[in-house]
Amino acid sequence: MNWQAAEAELFGDVLVHQDRRPAAFLPGFADTPAAHVGVARAEMLLTSLALSENARSEGDGDDHAEPSSALQRVEAKIDLVLGLLGTMLRERGDLPPPTVLRWSTRGARIDVLGDALAIRPGARGVLRVQPADWLPDCIELPSHVIAVEGARAWLAFEPLSPNLADALERHLFRLHRKQVAESRRLR
């Protein structure tokens, strides 16, 4: 498949989000028992992330009461601990390096870092991605390579469970909404 067909298959008529975040394709990990646990874990992480971010944004509107200073201090401390944990994980090499990632509920296009020649069309594995900047953890989505062009690879997700597909769609919508709000704020 050429890259134009891959773009149409993965991103045609669906919500797409693109940004720079820690992500990598790990060939060969899709059929391991750990990969099956990773799918359930990805669903749990995305669902928990949604609950956390919804709770954080509840105080953003004018019609909501201002959070107490004690709650703000607790949230600030948690943010500091998560930042420290994220730094430690990056130093250990547990997080993939930041790269340009374009993704939808169907798959992703990733700028491959390192040995791009190791990724071939048909290769199966997982897309490992840090879903939120403040969360020092990754989700792993089973996928296979459908196209490669230069240092870019197009990955189609293996069929996701309905719950995981729904959690991923909601997550991508929140990321897209934040990106639109940020671009409006900068104008």
Higher pLDDT: 80 or 138? It is: 138
Range of the domain at 49: 3-58+96-186
Residue 44 domain flag:
yes
CA–CA separation, 181 vs 179, rounded Å?
Answer: 5
* pLDDT over 70, % of the chain: 76
Q: What per-residue confidence (pLDDT) applies to 91?
A: 65
Count of structural domains within the chain: 1
- CA dihedral (3, 153, 50, 183) positive or negative: negative
**CB 44 within 8 Å of CB 133:** no
Residue 22 domain flag:
yes
Q: What per-residue confidence (pLDDT) applies to 27?
A: 86
The CATH number given to whatever domain includes residue 169 is 2.40.10.220
Residue 107 domain flag:
yes
CA–CA separation, 170 vs 129, rounded Å?
Answer: 16
**What is the per-residue DSSP string for the chain?**
--HHHHHHHHHTTS--EEEEEEEEEEET-TTSHHHHHHHHHHHHHHHHHHHHHHHHHGGGSTTSPPPPHHHHHHHHHHHHHHHHHHHHHHHHT-SPPEEEEEE-SSEEEEEPPS-GGG--TT-EEEEEE--STT----EEEEEEEEEEETTEEEEEEPPPPHHHHHHHHHHHHHHHHHHHHHHHHH-
Higher pLDDT: 49 or 122? It is: 122
User: Quick check: 169 pLDDT over 60?
Assistant: yes
Higher pLDDT: 122 or 55? It is: 122
Residue 87 domain flag:
no
Nearest to 126 by CA among 49, 22, 36, 16: 36
Tell how strand 139-149 and strand 152-157 pair up.
Answer: antiparallel
Residue 83 domain flag:
no
Higher pLDDT: 112 or 79? It is: 112
Confidence of residue 62 (pLDDT cuts 50, 70, 90): very low
Lowest mean pLDDT among 28-42, 105-119, 128-142: 28-42
Lowest mean pLDDT among 85-94, 136-145, 149-158: 85-94
Higher pLDDT: 77 or 180? It is: 180
- For residue 61, the one-letter residue type is G
Residue 126 domain flag:
yes
CA–CA separation, 139 vs 95, rounded Å?
Answer: 11
Lowest mean pLDDT among 3-17, 77-91, 115-129, 132-146: 77-91
**CB 75 within 8 Å of CB 56:** yes
